[in-house]
Structures are given as C-alpha cells and as structure tokens.
A and B are shown apart, each in its own frame.
Chain A
C-alpha cells in the first residue's frame, strides 16, 4: 500500500502542477474524470486514489497563484490575489507576491492541526443547527461585503447582475457551468481590460528569498485573520477561501504583503479542511472532497490522518517546485510582450470553454466577462462577483 500511496502522491503533484498552471482547468474536472473512469483503476487501492486527489488538490492550490499573478488568469480561490499582486507585477516584484503566497500556504499547514481538531470535536454537533440558518448566514456575509464597499449602490448593482447570472447558469443544461462562469467573471474580464489598456510593466526581478520572506508581524496578522475566518468558510457551500480572506482582512487590517500571506494560508486551510468536513459530517464541500467521499464511503480516522499527512508532504514538496516554476515564468514573461500574451490566454480560455461547455458555455463566458468588466471599470470590489455562487447556494438551501 505504501508504494502505491507514494506513487499516487507524485502523480498527484504532477497533475496538480498541470491543472494549476493551465488557466481554466479545475481540479474538479480531473476528479470528475477520475471518478467516471474508476473501472480503469480497479487494481489501485481506493486510499491511493484518494491520496492522488489530495496531492493534486493541494498542489493546484499552491501552483495556480502563478498564472493568476503573471497572466491575470485567476480562479475562484485566487481572484482576490489579483489586485495586490497586480501592483507587485507592475513594480517588477511578481516573484515576491508568489513567495508570500507560498509562505502563507506553509502557515496554513501549521494552523491545520488545531482547526482540524476543533472541527472533529465541534462540527458534528453544530452542523445540524447551522443548516437551518445557512442561507441567512450566506446572505448576511454577502450584505456585509457589499456595504463595506466604498460605493455600495454600485456594489449592489454588480452583485445583482452576478447573482442573476449565477441563478440562470445553474439552471441551464451546460456541462461544467463553473468553468465559463468564473473564467469570465475573474479571468477574461481582467485580461481583456489589460489587452485594451496594457499596464506599464517593469522588468520582473528575481529577489533573494530572504528579502521576500514575511516578517513576524505579517505572519502574526495573517495567522489571526486565518483562524477567525477559515473555520467558518470551510464548510459553508457557496463561500470560498476568498470570502474567508476578505472576512479575515476586514477583522484584522492587512497590508498587501500580509493579505497575500492570508490568502495562501486560507486556500490551504479551506481545501484541507474540506476533507476533514467529509469525515466529521459526511458533507462534501469541494469537488475533491466529493471525490474522496465517493472513493472512501466508510472514511475512517486512520484514513483521514493518512490523507492529512499526504497534504503536509505535498505542500513541503510543492513549495520548492513552485519557486522553480516561478523563476521559469519570470524568464518567459520578460521575453514576451504582454498584449499578445493576454490575447493568447483569452483565446485559450475560450477554446477550453467551447471544448468543455459548448456554445452555451461560450455565451455564459461572454456575459460573465462583460459583468466582470462592469465591476472592474466601476471600481467595485470583485468579491461582489461571488454573488454568482452565493445566491444560488442560498436559494437552494431556502427551497430544499
């Protein structure tokens, strides 16, 4: 069993590197493909397959900050990194942005054990009472985020557009609805604007790791904010790690550097805790967790501990890999002009959407891109676009 698990770990890191670097490819896609072709893997122990999912998921979480920062091609969990990291990119300090997010991931790993223990103790008792207030909690979090915006009326308008798009998208017969929805709202919109108004970029520099590493104060701020927000957001559907990062930064003020640390920590925590949630209350909050639930129907504590160990090992191995890939990305980024690069990524994302979601997906992508551009051009915080996920989740819980 151990050799299979270790091989699965390495395969997962490889798969997660591919999904993390490729804009628009979600780990949920790979997890779904794996589950739909389980008969091909009948000779492999389910725990090894679960280890593959865990390794792939955590690697993806660490690696996908690279296309977010360099290509403005974020995903659901990284779009909030765009604004601070854009400033780093403009200043030629994209490497520093990646390093901070990676250190945040290590911080998340350290915080995982105490939070996981509290989940195991408290969540089974609390979840059933939380279920009835879930939709109201989702709405409260949304209202909180809207009215913290500097322009609340515009924020309400953007929020409503995104909510309407989400409600319609999740009722349409489209394959992989999240792909065109999130790619358009957070990826293509930013890329299109950057193509139309290319930013004045300084040449990217490779700074020493010691220069980029966070200070103790920054780590402390990010840690407290993570402890406040990540546990709440790790089991609520429709609430992503970006909400956790926003809530955490609202409670404890963050500068750009510590916000990236916070985002890195929260991304790791939310992903890892989704596996703990499967064990604690048999609910899958992420596609990866749903795949684990399918592979291990009688999920034992021993299996959970093995998977958490795999998660820790993955982060430890992926940290230097991410630094290596970032250095390569800097070389490539400095070699190519930005506008053709942005256009190529838009074309690639459109092709991916057409392949997975068809013509209907392209229409959703175009609409989502337009809404994303409305949001950015009106200087409303992009977290309001998460209404596309929150409102459908709230409506679901209210009507079921």
Chain B
C-alpha cells in the first residue's frame, strides 16, 4: 500500500471528523434563513413552543418564530409554552425542509 496515500487518507478523515464534530452551529432568527443553507447544516434556534404534537410517530414542535422542529429524543413532558433552545440539523427531502433536533434545553 502507498504509505503517503494512507497518511493523507487518515489525515483527511481526521480533518473531516473534526469539522463535523466541532463546527459551531449557525444561529437562526427566521425560517427564511434556511433557504441559504445546505442540508446537514447545524443550526441553533430559540423560541417559545406554541404547539407540541405527535405526527406519524414523531414529535413536532412549532415555535413562536415559525420554526418547526422534529424531535425523536426530546424530554417527555409537554413543552408547550416553554422557552427552548435547540441545536438541530437541516434536512431536505422531497422538497420539504425540516430541522432534526440533536440537543434541546429548556430555558428558565
């Protein structure tokens, strides 16, 4: 095996993993900001939950600033009227855009 190529491959993989893990999320204030971003972009959104619904075995949170979050590992109690901060990943599938929550915290 070409040792130089192996070294480059391992360094490249390390660099990509570091970028994936440590790139800070982009703070968003409005859903219109989503159109400028690529899928898988990490974003930070904050707002008050106005609706907390179960839809097709998935929990969906709608915020007062019109963001809709999909949540598979959110805390169990209902979050309606709670002020939350969430780090999510932008996903696009069949022309629909949604935010898949990675971490969520309830703010006082």
Measuring CB to CB, which residues of chain A are less than 8 angstroms from any residue of chain B?
154, 161, 164-165, 168-175, 294, 360, 363-364, 366-367, 370-371, 373-374, 377-378
* Contact between B5 and A370, CB atoms less than 8 A apart: yes
Contact among B8, B16, B42, B95 with A168 in the assembled complex (CB-CB below 8 Å): B16
Instruction: Report the minimal beta-carbon distance from B38 to chain A, rounded to whole angstroms.
Output: 4
- Contact: B16 with A371, CB < 8 Å? no
Task: Kindly identify which residue among A154, A363, A373, A378 contacts B16, using a CB–CB cutoff of 8 Å.
Answer: A363
Chain A residues near B40 (CB-CB < 8 A): 170-174
Among the listed B5, B19, B37, B90, which residue makes an inter-chain contact with A374, where contact means beta carbons less than 8 Å apart?
B5
A371 touches which of B9, B17, B41 (Cβ 8 Å): B9
- Cβ-defined contact, A374 with B6, below 8 A: yes
The A interface is mostly helix, strand or loop, or mixed, namely helix
Q: How far is the CB of B10 from chain A (nearest CB, A)?
A: 8
Contacts of B1 in A (CB 8 A): 154, 374, 377-378
Cβ–Cβ < 8 Å partners of B15 in chain A: 363, 367
Which residues between 45 and 101 of chain B lie within 8 Å of chain A, taking CB atoms? 90, 95
In the assembled complex, how far is the CB of residue A203 from the closest CB belonging to chain B, in whole angstroms? 30
Q: How far is the CB of A147 from chain B (nearest CB, A)?
A: 19
Cα distance A374–B1 in the bound complex, in angstroms:
6
CB proximity of A286 to chain B, nearest CB, Å: 15
CB-CB < 8 A to A154: which residues of B? 1
Bound-state Cα–Cα, A367 to B17, Å: 12
Known: A168-B17, A363-B15, A370-B5. 10 other contacts (CB 8 A): A168-B13, A169-B16, A172-B16, A172-B19, A173-B38, A173-B42, A174-B40, A371-B5, A374-B5, A374-B6
With beta carbons under 8 angstroms apart, the residue of B8, B13, B17, B38 that contacts A174 is B38
Chain A: which residue is nearest B9 at the CB level? A370
Distance, CA A154 to CA B2, complexed state (A): 13
